[in-house]
Amino acid sequence: MIKKIHHLPLIIFIIIAAIILAVMNNDFLYTIQDCSIFCNGHTFMKSLTNAPGGTINWIGCYLTQFFYYPWLGTSFLILLWIFIYILCIKTYKLKYHDCPYALIPITALMCSIIGVGYWIYYMNMPGYWFACTLGCLYLSLSLYGYSKINESRLNILTILYLITTTIIGYYLCGWWGLLNAICCILLDIRAKSRIKRIILSCTTCIVLLISVPIIAYHLSTHMPIEKAWTIGFPLFQQNDYTNWKLSTPFFIIMVWFIIVSFYKTNTTLSSNEKNTRLFLSCFVATLFLITPFRFNYNDSRFKSEIRMYRLLEECKWEEIISEYQANSKSPTNQMIMCKNLALLHLNRLGEEGFNTGMVGDSPTKQGDLKVGMAQTIAPLLYYHHGCINYANNWALNNIAKYGLSVRNLKILIRCAVMNNEPELALKYTAILRTTTFHKQWASQWLEYSFNAHSAKECQEINTITPLIVLDDMIDDDQGMCEAFLLEYFATLIASTREQQEMALIYAMTLKDDELIKFQIENYYAMFGDTNIPKHVLEAVDIYNTNHSTDYLKFVQDYQKAIGTGNKIVEIGKQLKPIYGETYWWYYYFVNKFNTY
């Protein structure tokens, strides 16, 4: 009976993996493919395969694109994991009571995906999401082959196999190839091969471990010598900071393969011993199956941000507001910027901009990773603010630093179309058209580029065009997208409704009295004095000599609270239930503008 259910842990694993990936991380998986790309062509292939380990990156990119349908990508991943699981059992001849141990490497592989969080914007590891699984698969296959050849008495064949799989493995998979050499030797020792053969294998292995990376370094011009031994090993680094937690799954895989390659289980166990072993292995496997839930980056604001990015791309304004309001935690600045754009296009910014919240937080800390909007959303935000060149620059910067991605390529296409650069649009769309799932989008935008009539009917273009400021100036945002946009619009002499509304609300956000007065004048000059939105009237109230009774009441309450001697923060909290939805509250109590 126990024997019959020895694959039960695997079945449980499959269910858990499907739930965690395709259900809990559905939006994240879509974002993964959006931040990656696979272009069908020689140039793209060459760009990835010119360094050792690049081949699995290239195949990884190919498979990553299937996260366009998260369940499809998940299915591929799970299939590969099952294959690795089976190969491990066969290679190490694990008995049913030890089988659950084979879940450890594949669980680690799952953790390596779901724990990434904000690092998705800061990792330059093309195809990472499948590459590690492919590396592990190569290792498992190679070791399976070695375990079979090992049974022969042909020393030369095993040595040839060791040399070939290490060199090919290093070329295709980077460090996995070197791990393969170590595990092969351990398999030799485990198989209790003759001492002469072990010495021969060990010598070959040491020579391979030293020489292969050195030779590869001298044949390649794409890696530093220090990285030659760890090429392809995922390290999550930003400036001085390395997030070792995210690399832990790979250390676990490495240690697991080393231990099981070396450790030979006793085949003659009593029934009781077998049951104890089964219990123990199930316990360990259960611990590992629980791990993904702990490892999963489940920050609700991060998830909201990635959903809002997608909604912003599709100009779904009402849904952006709904997503914003559905979030129970205090919003990030990025979410506020998206919400404001949505309100602007719904013509509600002046009415609801401040009462829906204008004070944002930094993203939840993920170790010491410094998250900046420049990498997370700046290209799209700039684009939606009509700052086409800045959107273009940040999309290009992010591509240069973190690799080509669908989302940044789409920004470049949009910018080329909005800037009336058809040849450039043609170039970028030609690249995007080599992808599997974004061809249609590319063709549509190519049409916009060459056909002014169809461009005029594009809702997105019509939305952004009024925000484009025709006058040129030179400036530099220093990577501070939000601060730049606020100041850029606050100082603007607007020529359209959208620009003027944005200009006034952003001036009010900055609380610069001169700019607010300037923009109020411009606002009234453009719109007259009818149907003035709530927040604008509130701002006018502050500077007018004839104050409204509501404002006078607020001032009265404010002065009364001041008289109590409480700190301004306390007073703010005290008055928030009554005045929290007014601009006055923002003007008097929000003193710190944090951006990132």
Q: Which residues bind other proteins (CB under 8 A)?
A: 39, 41-44, 51, 124, 148-149, 151-154, 157, 217-218, 221-225, 237-240, 242, 387-390, 392-393, 396-397, 399-401, 404, 416, 419, 421, 423-424, 426-427, 430-431, 434, 468-477, 488
**Of residues 133 and 405, the one with the C-beta less far from other proteins:** 405
Nearest partner of 362 among 325, 395, 336, judged by Cα = 336
Cα dist. 299→34, 115, 119, 359, 417 in Å? 19, 11, 13, 19, 35
**Of residues 199 and 430, the one with the C-beta less far from other proteins:** 430
Characterize the bridge pairing of strands 241-242 and 237-238: antiparallel
**Of residues 183 and 404, the one with the C-beta less far from other proteins:** 404
Minimum CB separation from other proteins for residue 172, in Å? 18
**Of residues 311 and 399, the one with the C-beta less far from other proteins:** 399
**Of residues 26 and 238, the one with the C-beta less far from other proteins:** 238
Contact in structure between 332 and 363 (CB atoms under 8 Å):
yes
Minimum CB separation from other proteins for residue 22, in Å? 32
How many residues appear in the chain? 596
**Of residues 423 and 529, the one with the C-beta less far from other proteins:** 423
* Residue 268 backbone dihedrals phi, psi, to 5 degrees: -105, 85
Minimum CB separation from other proteins for residue 577, in Å? 42
Q: Helices (DSSP H) in 191-316: which residue ranges?
A: 195-219, 244-262, 271-295, 300-313
Minimum CB separation from other proteins for residue 224, in Å? 6
Minimum CB separation from other proteins for residue 467, in Å? 12
- What is the number of alpha carbons within 13 Å of residue 477 lying toward its C-beta? 24
| DSSP bridge partners of 238 | 241
Minimum CB separation from other proteins for residue 438, in Å? 15
**Of residues 184 and 320, the one with the C-beta less far from other proteins:** 184
Contact in structure between 210 and 217 (CB atoms under 8 Å):
no
Minimum CB separation from other proteins for residue 423, in Å? 4
Minimum CB separation from other proteins for residue 207, in Å? 21
- What gap in Å lies between CA 351 and CA 536, rounded to an integer? 8
Contact in structure between 300 and 328 (CB atoms under 8 Å):
yes
Number of CB atoms found within 10 A of residue 468's CB: 16
Minimum CB separation from other proteins for residue 344, in Å? 19
**Of residues 172 and 388, the one with the C-beta less far from other proteins:** 388
DSSP-derived 3-state class of residue 332:
strand
Minimum CB separation from other proteins for residue 437, in Å? 18
Q: Which long-range contacts (CB under 8 A, 24 or more apart) does 22-28 make?
A: 22/70, 22/71, 22/74, 24/114, 24/296, 24/298, 25/70, 25/114, 25/296, 26/70, 27/303, 27/306, 27/307, 27/310, 28/114, 28/120, 28/297, 28/303, 28/306
Identity (one letter) of the amino acid at 516?
Answer: I
Minimum CB separation from other proteins for residue 69, in Å? 26
- What is the number of alpha carbons within 13 Å of residue 543 lying toward its C-beta? 17
**Of residues 47 and 281, the one with the C-beta less far from other proteins:** 47
- What is the number of alpha carbons within 13 Å of residue 506 lying toward its C-beta? 24
Please name the helix (run of DSSP H) or strand (run of DSSP E) that holds residue 181, with its range, or none.
helix 175-190
Contact in structure between 391 and 411 (CB atoms under 8 Å):
yes
**Of residues 143 and 252, the one with the C-beta less far from other proteins:** 143
Contact in structure between 125 and 134 (CB atoms under 8 Å):
no
- What gap in Å lies between CA 498 and CA 504, rounded to an integer? 10
* Residue 332 backbone dihedrals phi, psi, to 5 degrees: -85, 165
**Of residues 72 and 424, the one with the C-beta less far from other proteins:** 424
